[in-house]
Amino acid sequence: MADWNPEIYARFGDLRLRPALDLLAQVGDLPPGPIVDLGCGAGAVGAALRARFAQARIAGVDGSPAMLERARAAGAYDSLIHADIAAWAPQDRPALIFSNAALQWLPDHSSLLPRLAGLLAPQGVLAVQMPRQFGAPSHRFLRDFAGDMYPDRFDFSGWQAPVAAPVAYHRLMASLGRVTVWETEYLQRLEPSPDGHPVRCFTESTAMRPFLDRLSAGEAADFVQRYEQALAAAYPVEPDGAVLFPFRRLFLTLTVGGVGCPR
């Protein structure tokens, strides 16, 4: 995909930050060691991590140069690392690997998450938040319409959701330490937008990216028009022009070194 656009992504910064703060609130005491914001993006969580762990070394890791440049301006990190987060490995074992809304872009969680846990210091914590919105109209319409309109480029016949059910992650991680998994569905109020349906504006910088990147300008216009029409029925506009948009997210924390952990 093309590089991320920090300005578009930041339009709903408060709604995207709240799950990160909810996840951070469930992180308890940490052992000595650095803290890693894996998939840090533009650094929205950096200030909260710095406020919570003022004495720790905090690194942000991301694959987007544009996002890292924005994170650097925030000034909350001791270091910023440009890397593929799927293959990243630290020099020193982290006390905390914190990943907010990033790992859903990566495949093979059954290998990825245990690998990340294995990078931690003893009693270190892996804290992960991922959207689990893929069956909702906001995301399902994208697959349905792309496959119908442009079958030469989009085939979802064998598609599987990139984020599994909570029970699958508990079973995957339970032998590695003390694990907690939960879901929250946020009822997000999206303010009126002059640029189109508010849900389309919300997904434009995230879920829509893999689709729009493979379409010409004319194709994208037709695709967006059909998507907006369907969104208007699925997410009706309130009298003041806002839209109420339910959004489901999955959370996971793992403290390694507990009962059953091989370390």
pLDDT of amino acid 179: 97
pLDDT of amino acid 12: 63
65-95 CB burial, b ≥16 within 10 A, e <16: ebbbebbeebebbeebbeeebeebebeebbb
For 10-61, write each residue's pLDDT tens digit.
566 789 899 999 999 999 999 999 999 999 998 999 999 999 999 999 999 9
**245 pLDDT exceeds 70?**
yes
CATH number of this structure's domain 6-256: 3.40.50.150
Beta strands in the chain (DSSP E): 35-38, 58-62, 79-82, 96-100, 125-131, 177-190, 243-256
Neighbours of 26 (CB within 10 A): 13
Look at residue 19 and give its three-state secondary structure. Answer: helix
125-131 vs 96-100, strand pairing mode:
parallel
Confidence of residue 263 (pLDDT cuts 50, 70, 90): very low
Look at residue 191 and give its three-state secondary structure. Answer: coil
pLDDT of amino acid 8: 57
- Average confidence score pLDDT of the chain: 92
**3 pLDDT exceeds 80?**
no
For 68-115, write each residue's pLDDT tens digit.
998 998 889 999 999 999 999 999 999 999 999 999 999 999 999 999
Cα(120)–Cα(89) distance, rounded to whole angstroms? Answer: 10
Look at residue 128 and give its three-state secondary structure. Answer: strand
Across-strand partners of 247?
186
Q: What is the largest CA-CA distance in the chain?
A: 57
pLDDT of amino acid 161: 96
